[in-house]
Chains A and B, each alone.
Chain A
Amino acid sequence: MPTVNSIYGLFPGPHAAERGMNALRAAGVAPDKLIVMSPEPFEEYGFAQADRPKWMPWLAVLGGVIGGTGGFTLAWYTQTAYSYPLVTGGMPIVAPWPTGIITYELTMLGAILTTILTLLIGARLPNWKPKLYDPAVSKGKILIGVLDPPDQARADLETRLRGAGAEQVKTTGRSAAS
């Protein structure tokens, strides 16, 4: 059940959704109050723009460095800390080529695991009880709306959403119950 105060429209396609978003912006809705949910990424449209996560690759690199350092340390420490008489025929105990392979694999593993973590944290997942959602999004509709709209502005927002082409306009939260 939605637990937030909101008003939103369900649009049949990206062009209508774009009009809906422009209508809300024209009504003076603050950007942090706008809500968008779509069944696919509509990158070409203004309504689907959000902050681009440019830092994600750098975090992956950092994860790779940590993983690689861990891999090298594992190979180096475990071969040298326990000085049982390992006969290597004069060859180095910590051989650079094989150690490089372990380091490489764990570098990549570190980058992969960091990417998963940054995705989950960045996309705020898991969140099994979202405050607002409409299953119509799965049917191809695009949800454009406003969080915590002032009561006196609801009628105007509804008119604007319908005027932009919203098939349905819904309200949630206190005002919806009253």
Chain B
Amino acid sequence: MAQKTPEQINDDLLRPLSGVSARYLIIMACLVAVVIAAAFAFGWQVYNGIGVAGLRRPVFWGFYITNFVFWIGLSHAGTLISAILRLANATWRRPVTRCAEVITVFALCIGATFPIIHLGRPWLAFWLAPYPSERGIWPNFRSPLLWDFFAINTYLTGSVTFLLLPMIPDFALIRDRSSGWKKKIYTVLALGWIGTPRQWHRLEKAMQIMAVAIIPVAVSVHSIVSWDFAMAPVPMWHSTIFAPYFVAGAIFSGIAALILAMALLRKFLHLEEYLLPIHFENLGKLLLVMSLLWVYFVFAERLTSWYGNESSEMAVFWMTQRGSFSPLFWTMVTCNFLIPFPLLAIKKFRTITGTAIASFTVVIGMWLERFLIIVPSLSRKYMPYAWVTSPYRPTWVEITITAGTFAALGLLYMLFSKAVPIISIWELKWGRHEETVRDPVLARRDEEAMA
């Protein structure tokens, strides 16, 4: 790739923005159909009431809150990983960062809808916002649910900014190469960017500050999501380990989602020259570390409960280890550790296919993990009157809405990849330029190529 001229890089990375193939349209149509089905299911729920979902006393948190935790966790793919790689100045990050940051924004938007979907009366969701109202009642700032409101909104604002700021120079690039209505749109989006040293320095400094600010925000977001559970006196929830356990799980599922997205983009947008095996290998190593960390947290959490031998906790413990939830539990362990570990630990298997398979299983495993944190504990709380009489079963409404959100992510990603280069062009060129500065042979070749 070092021999490619800037114009060739522009052509390669802007090619996906022009024209749509039949395959693209067919996939879009399928995704749109699933999203419409999910919208219908939600409309059905609004019309008939929350009773059409499988939520019954005492399990009032089921698929919806599982999805909420899962999607917020998945959102850690982008901004957090991208920020860490930026601060560490990892040169291999450049083709990866935007793919990752996009996942964050879309996953957050999807995740944030679930508490609203979960509400019996979703049209009153705005009551959560702290604003002066005629009711004279402000939200309860001691509630972790309100902490969620602030944390998710801060993270969403930061993540959208973190995604948008480095897109400005690329918008300017598209502006200069387009015509008609496209030119008008990209002219507005580019904000008049012309690439003066002053603009570059300001952008670079802003990105550094954002990277520093966004890491603690990302950690806080999933800590707060964990405190939705840990602040409640429910067996297996009231635990100090929950915040780091959730953050580690979020990063774990986030990296898996990123690898999957990159593998799909590489194949469908023909980015083989830009998303290289080394990117998958490096992310695969990160995924391996997170898999081991996840096992460590699960072991530490379960060992402490087992050693304490508190009867209510042990009831939930055994329900997941060898009771009705054990098939899901052991599937989770298989998906999160037994399959990914050999695929990622053995160098021969740490290929694009190997990392993609491992990531696919991790995404499934992490969804199951969220489900297993929520439902078994609610099924058997401390008092016998709160023990479940009929087990929680999701209805078609919950399943359709869940499927719809996965389709929505794919749909949003496909639309995005038609509007914005999925790899940051200027950052890629900058990285290539830094390589040439370090290597005089490359520098000479580059100068000749440009001349």
Contact = CB atoms under 8 A, between A and B. Distances in A.
B204 A74 contact: no
Given A39-B426, A137-B195, A123 B220 contact: no
B168 to A, nearest CB: 8
A164 interface: no
A125 B216 CA distance: 28
A13 B6 CA distance: 10
A115 B209 contact: yes
Nearest to A108: B217
A117 to B, nearest CB: 10
A44 interface: yes
A38 B224 CA distance: 43
A36 B196 contact: yes
A112 interface: yes
A40 B150 CA distance: 36
B446 A13 contact: yes
A39 B193 contact: no
Contact of B142 (A37, A98, A127): A98
A104 B191 contact: no
A40 B191 contact: no
B165 A119 contact: yes
A106 B195 contact: no
B3 interface: no
A53 B201 contact: yes
Interface stretch (A76-84, A151-159, A169-177): A76-84
B312 interface: no
A41 B193 contact: no
Interface of B: 5-7, 10, 130, 136-138, 141-143, 146-147, 150-151, 153-154, 157-158, 161, 165, 168-169, 172-173, 175-177, 187-188, 191-206, 209-210, 213-214, 216-217, 220, 224, 426, 429-430, 433, 437, 443, 446-447, 450-451
Given A37-B195, A40-B200, A82-B137, 18 more contacts: A16-B447, A38-B197, A40-B195, A51-B198, A52-B201, A56-B206, A57-B205, A71-B150, A74-B130, A78-B141, A101-B224, A105-B147, A106-B154, A108-B158, A115-B209, A115-B213, A130-B192, A139-B6
Interface of A: 12-16, 35-42, 44, 47-53, 56-57, 60, 71, 74-75, 78-79, 82, 84, 95, 98-99, 101-102, 104-106, 108-109, 111-113, 115-116, 118-120, 122-130, 132-133, 135, 137-140, 165
9 contacts: A40-B169, A42-B433, A56-B209, A78-B138, A98-B143, A112-B154, A122-B202, A127-B191, A135-B176
